Each structure stands twice: as structure tokens, then as C-alpha cells.
Structure 1
Amino acid sequence: MSTTGKIAPISGFPEYLPDERIVEQRFLDVIRETFELHGFSSIETRSIEPIERLSAQGEDTDKEIYAVSRLGGGDEDARWGLHFDMTVPFARYVLENSGKLSFPFRRYQIQKAWRGERPQEGRYREFTQADIDVVDVGQLSPHFEAEMPLVIADVFRRFPVGDFVIQVNNRKIPGGFYQGIGLTDVTATLRIVDKLDKIGPDKVRALLLESGATDEQASLCLQLAAIRTEDLGFVDQVRALGVEHPVLDEGLAALADVIRTGIRNAPGTLVADLRIARGLDYYTGTVYETQFPGYESWGSFCSGGRYDALASDGRTTYPGVGISIGVTRILGLLLGKGLVAASRSTPAAVLVTLRDDAARDEAVTVATALRRRGIACEVAPSAAKFGKQIRYADRRGIPFVWFPSAGESGDEVKDIRTGEQVPADAQTWSPPAADLAPAVTRVGS
């Protein structure tokens, strides 16, 4: 099929150049390896779900769902939508496969999702997410809520994202607090307070007053949301506001456990931030958001929380806790701002040269021997002059050029960065470990 004429890009659907794709692949490798180190098993779910199931997850989801239909299809097709996150399909997956799973079930899932929002910096219509969840039958131990941020901290430490902070709250804290001050519509109040970062405290106060809160109640809501500590000091600060409610007590104790675990196992990465609410309705306990200091305007790159009733068949409830890494969102910042770079745009560490066209079979034999030992390589595309073949390797970022022997002299390999050329045997030679695969580094680090 041929393409002619000017091609107009479709906004919100990112595509990567080879060196950018290497950055993405390395990030996904780190995520996958870390998830598995923590004992999570990989699953994959279908891309579509019934629209009514997707739209039941919050007030703003309807406008975000991409409907799926066949051209010329009937009404039957119009009831499917592309999933906008992995949690909703995962809940359905648990219900359908509960008899085949071992609980508590630890799952990770790396897939694309689609969201029909206006594309902008850091926001995409098609994006890759990497999720982990622990789900159990009937009850879920609260210690899993403390485990989630430790996994994320391990991921971000292994990939050159720079400084990061995992902000943690428990929805029982604002829920119990609001009830303690006489605000009965907890969900509506949570949704308003969740807009603090977007519209600021003055507009949030105005929305609270419009919703029926008194001036004192609105002030207390803002005072609660302003509490942020890197230790357990948030407990005393909440108590100082003079509000009492048993749900509030539960939330403070649960959040204290999470922060205490973070201090012991991931010091300097967790912060108790009581403005964090998360907009989706199914969160019931601990909630998480993750930001990069200096890039707060990009919002959260990794978020999630506990849900107690997302999955239920009417007889059995499957509570869980999960957290999701916005892979495409993070890459949009790291690549768009030039904060990370791949050392080369190809996996090949070696280019095997050609003396002439008749030597191609010999070159392929060398390349095969190298590949069988895990050394990525390619054979020169043509038997051009050696200088031209070396320039080709340089443009591709391939660090080593291999010269098969012309007789009994033996093969040689050249590091084109230093000019050093040494005898080599395809059965034994290996490049330095740092050159075996493309490296991803933080620019300026």
C-alpha cells in the first residue's frame, strides 16, 4: 500500500523514533523485572468492555470513553468501549476467573489504554499503563496498602527519572473528617477538594460554599488538605483541628502504618499529603499519587489506591489495592524535555563488514556466532569502502566494527570511538558489558 500527499498527524497518539523507543523499552523492562521481583504475575485483558461498566466508575468517565463499532454495524456494536484504565477490566477478570486464581492474587499488567480527553502536554488519547494489584476474597490485609509504594520506589530508583515523591493519603481521613464537621455528602466534597491543584484554594472554597458547606466547614476542609508531612506528624496536626469521628481514627491509623513502613524501607520517598483524594469513586482506603519535584504542573505520574467493592458477584466481594504507572506520561516528560537519552538508536553492538559481495556468507557466519552468544549485531548493508561502512556504523551508534579475515591473518574488531583495533574470535570475543546493549542515562547526570 502506498501513501501519497501530506500526512497530517493525529494528536494524542504518540509514536517514537528508534532511540526513543529504546528508552521506552528499557523502562518497560525495569518495570517488568521489578514487578516480578515483588512476586506479581503477568496477565493481559481484552481492550474493550461494556460501556455501562466503564461509565459506572465516576461522573467524568462518559466523555472519556471511546466507543467501538463496525462500519455498517448495527446497534449491537455500539455497546462496547475501549478501556480507559486497567482496574475496571481487572475487576471483571477476577470475577470471571476466581475459581482458577490463588488468593491473595498478585497481578501486574502492562497494556495500552485510551481516553477521550483533549491532548496536551503530558496527556494522551492512547497511552501505556503498567499496573500492579493485590486482590483477596472477602477481606484484604491492610499491610498490602503499605507494600504498593515500596514497589514503585524500587522501579523509579532503577530507572533514571531523577527525584520523585510518593504522596499518600487515606480516604477515610477526609471521609471521617467531613462527617465529623457535619458534611454528609462525602463523595461530592472529595471531588471538590480533589481539584485543589487545578483551581487553587479560593475556587475550591467557593465550590464548597456553593455545595452547602458553611464558611467554617470550608475552612476546616482546606486546613485538612494543607497538612503534609514526611513523618507521622500529620496525626497530631489533624488532631489539633479538634474533629472526632471513628472513621477518621481508622484512616489516621492506616496511613500511619503506610508512612511508618515507608520510613523503614524507602526513606525519603513517601509523604503523607492529606489533599490527595483521587477522583474515581471506587477508592475506599489508602490512595497514592507520585510527582517529580520541579515538574508539579505535570501532575501525578503514578497513582492508585485501595478499593473494597469494585469486584463483587453479589455473594462474594473481592477487595484489592493497586497502583498504576503512567508509562507514556512519564516518557512524555523525560523525552520531551530531553531529560533522558539512549546511548544509541539500535540494539546492535557490532557491525560485521564486507570485503566484497562474495564475502557476505562469511560475514553472516560471524554474525550468527556472535548472536548465539547474545551479542546483537548486523551485517553491513553493502560492500562499500571500509570507510563508508564505518561511517554507517557511526551514524547508527554501533560501537564496534568487525573485519572478517581475508586469509590466515584472523578476524579483527575495532572500537570506532577510540580507534583501537585488536584480533578477535567470534566464538570468544565479547564487548564490554556497558556496550552490550543500549544504555539509558539521565542527561546531565
Structure 2
Amino acid sequence: MAKFSPISGFPEWTPGQKMLEQELMAKIAAEFELAGFAPIETRAVEPLSVLTNKGDDKEIYLLNRLHDNADQPKEKSKEKEQLGLHFDLTVPFARYVVEHQHLLSFPFKRYQIQKVWRGERPQEGRFREFYQCDIDMVGAETLDVSADAEMAGVMLKVMRKLPLPQAILRINNRKVLQGFYQGLGIDRLTDTLRIVDKLAKIGPEAVADLLKEELGIDDKAVELILSLAKLQGGAEVIEQAKALGVEHELMTEGLEELSQVLALTEHLGGIEVDFSIARGLDYYTGTVYETTLVGHEHIGAVCSGGRYDNLAAGGKVPYPGVGISLGITRLLGYMFGRKLIEVETQSPTQVMILLNDAESRVKSFEVAERLRARGISADVYHTTQNFGKQLKGIQKRAIPYALFIEEDGYAVKELATGEQSKIDLDTWQPAPRERVQYKCNF
């Protein structure tokens, strides 16, 4: 038998784990639709120029044909442009909006649950292929800051419906950071943001060294940058940021937007300001989000996003947008790996029909079809063995019921209790239970 080596970063769940993933994605989609978001699916590939316009090109998987279009005429053998697999859902969505603007009504609220690919180093909770669950709202020409609050509120509600530890959604505003840095006389804003975004990974001392050595920022300015980044909490930290004494109109605008988002989400709880959040991608222009799990902060943000006013460009009308993304694969990979969630279900089958002998297979198939017609997941045991062995096989697969075809009717045995009783096949229903059985250890 051939041996296969696992490829790191490409998760493969057990059947029960996959069932749980599907169930959670269905719950997420239902919550998104309750809030008025419509589903779309974009293609898996984009031109490299689209992916690298505002993104991080080191994470992109390129797409090449094995035979390099050898079957086509020579003058047509080259693609117009190199294609790559999308590394998030926001960049292709922005392209989608511009390309299909004549078919859409604005503001356009969409959700997308789809795979993405990143060529980064696999580690706990980080994969090369994974599902993201995104919501975005895009306006034509303008989009009110209340949309930023709606994103935070919807995603926080979603996370509270999932089997997860408590989530804290932290927000900042890129305008605050950029205005603050400009007020300090710093002109290399993007480089400064990228370095500050490393705070959680490398710590304040290392960030201070990078700001001084790479950007030549003086000690006083570095001290103020780190003082701002330390501020975390509710509305009170906005006043604390002002008290640092740095002034700039862009900073003032960002603080006002933060105040509005906080006011609109105050009733939800679980949302706080964190001035250390910068988000590495260049396309964010306003509110930014990062969500961590209480007691599991070491895995970093499990849900993030922000405002992008310039990403969906290319038409006569600008399309400012805001979005937030939940990495469902990343979450489940961590929870499964740490046994914080243990899935007990192994199959969707609710009842297994036992075989009396080889001749009873036709009758067993008929019984299975009658149960399925009433929405009961039923299967027929795969081989003729004595009932004891068949029952052991059913228990091993964690199927709750075994059905016996008897001379005078039908009987069902509940494997968990051992109770067996006669049934009317056309009216019997299995006891109500969740489709996927699992336990949480947190």
C-alpha cells in the first residue's frame, strides 16, 4: 500500500469534524442573512496585479499550467496576465463590485463563505488553505460610519452563537494613527504602521528599536507612539489619547469616528478601543477590527477587518466599504488540536437497519427509503453477521438507533440505553437531538 506524507497547512477533518464545520458555517450564514447580507461567491483566481495592488505578494500562490498551454498556437500560448489564488475575500469582492456595479443596489451588503489560500508558514491555528466567513458593506460615493458599527455588532453576535470562549472585539481607527504620526512630523506613515502592527508579536522594545533604526524616529516621538499604543478600554481612552498632546485634523476625525462606533455598539458589550491595532494591509483607511478569545490570546486575532475607502476603485464612482472576516478553519483547527472541542458524532446516520440474512437486503433497502422519505437519515448494515457483531459495528460509529426487521413488524433499539421496543415504521421518530454531538472543554 502506498504511503502518503501529510502536507502541512492543508487541514483534513474527520467526518464528524467536517459535519461540525458545515453546521457552524450554516449558523454563520443564517446570522448574516438575518442582518440583511446577501450571499455571493467569487472566482478562486485573480490577476496578479489585482492581488498585489494593496496586498502582500509573498503570501500568494501563483497558478501555472503544467504544459504551459502547449496545445495552443504559439502566439496565444501566454496568458494575458499571471493569475494567483486569492489570499482573502476582500480584494476579489472589491473587484466584483466594480465589475458588476450595474447589477447591484447600493449600499450593497454581502456575505461570502469561501476558501482562500496563503503561502505562509503553517503553525498552530494558521493554515495555507482555509475557509473565511466575510461580511462587507459597500456604498456608492459615500458610506456612513454607522456601517462600521454594524460590522462589529453582527460579527460579535455571530461569535456568541458559536462554541467558543468569550470573544473581545477590539477596534481602532487608522486615521487616529496616521494623524498622530503626522502630528509628530513623521512622513513614512505606511512603514510606521507596519512596524507598530508587530507590537503583539515582538513587544514594545523591539518595535522601538525598529522605529529608531529603520525610520530614524527620535526618542521622544517613539515614546509617544508607544504611549498611544498602550491605551486600551472604553470611551475614556479617547480622552486619554487627546491628553498626549499631539494634534492633527486627521487624528481628530478618527477619534470622532471611534466615538460614534462605540456609542452605536455600547449596548452589546464586548467591544473596546485598542490603539495598538494597526492591521498590516495597506487598503485600510479608517476603522480596523481585531478579535481575540479570552484566555487564548496567544493565537492572535481570529476575526479581523476594517474600513477601505479606496480599494473598490476603477469606475466613475468611488465605492467605499467596510468588512470583517472570521477565520472558521483557523478557529476549529486550534479548538480540535487542543481538544477544546471533541466531536462525538461520526456519521449523519440516525438509524442503522440490521440484516437478518442476505435475502433480507431488498426489504432493508425498502425500509431505509421509507424512513428517508420522512426525513430520517437511515442506512443498511454493510454485511450479514450475527446481530451482536452488527450492533458492535453500529456502536463504534456512534449511530444512536438500530432497527430490526421482524416477522410481525419492526423494532428499534436505542444504543445509549439498551432499550428496545416495537414501532410503527410510518410514525416512529428518533428522539430530538443535535445533528452533531460534541462537548466543549473550556
Deviations 1:134-160 (A, max 9, x none): 111100111110011211122211111
Deviations 1:200-249 (A, max 9, x none): 100111111120211111011001011110x2111121122112222112
1:226 partner amino acid: K
1:215 partner amino acid: D
Distance 2:201 2:120 in 1: 16
CA contact (8 A) 1:69 1:78 kept: no
How far the C-alpha of 1:396 sits from its partner, in A, is 0.5
Q: Are residues 1:19 and 2:23 paired?
A: no
CA contact (8 A) 1:68 1:77 kept: no
Partner of 2:364: 363
Partner of 1:423: 422
Partner of 1:254: 257
Partner of 1:145: 148
Partner of 2:440: 442
Q: Are residues 1:10 and 2:4 paired?
A: no
Specify whether residues 122 and 101 from structure 1 end up closer, same or farther in structure 2 by C-alpha distance, changes over 3 A only: same
1:258 partner amino acid: V
Q: Are residues 1:191 and 2:194 paired?
A: yes
Deviations 1:400-429 (A, max 9, x none): 11112322xx31111111111122222211
Partner SS, residue 434 of structure 1: coil
Distance 2:89 2:187 in 1: 31
Q: Are residues 1:296 and 2:300 paired?
A: no
Q: CA RMSD in A?
A: 1.5
CA contact (8 A) 1:70 1:77 kept: no
Partner of 1:39: 36
Give the one of 81, 85, 88 matched to 2:88: 85
CA contact (8 A) 2:179 2:248 kept: yes
Q: Which consecutive unaligned segments of at least 5 residues does structure 2 have?
A: 69-76
1:67 partner amino acid: L
Give the one of 217, 223, 235 matched to 1:219: 223
Distance 1:422 1:162 in 2: 41
Partner SS, residue 151 of structure 2: helix
TM-score, normalised relative to structure 2: 0.95
Q: Are residues 1:30 and 2:27 paired?
A: yes
Specify whether residues 432 and 77 from structure 1 end up closer, same or farther in structure 2 by C-alpha distance, changes over 3 A only: farther
Partner of 2:74: none
How far the C-alpha of 1:75 sits from its partner, in A, is 4.0
CA contact (8 A) 1:232 1:256 kept: yes
CA contact (8 A) 2:47 2:81 kept: no
Aligned residue-pair number: 433
Partner of 1:177: 180
Q: Are residues 1:235 and 2:238 paired?
A: yes
Q: Which consecutive unaligned segments of at least 5 residues does structure 1 have?
A: none
CA contact (8 A) 1:137 1:316 kept: yes
1:176 partner amino acid: G
Deviations 1:151-202 (A, max 9, x none): 1122211111121111111111111111122222222211110010111100
Partner SS, residue 433 of structure 1: coil
1:70 partner amino acid: R
Partner of 1:51: 48
1:37 partner amino acid: L
How far the C-alpha of 1:77 sits from its partner, in A, is 7.5
Partner of 1:134: 137
Partner SS, residue 111 of structure 1: strand
Partner SS, residue 76 of structure 1: coil
1:124 partner amino acid: F
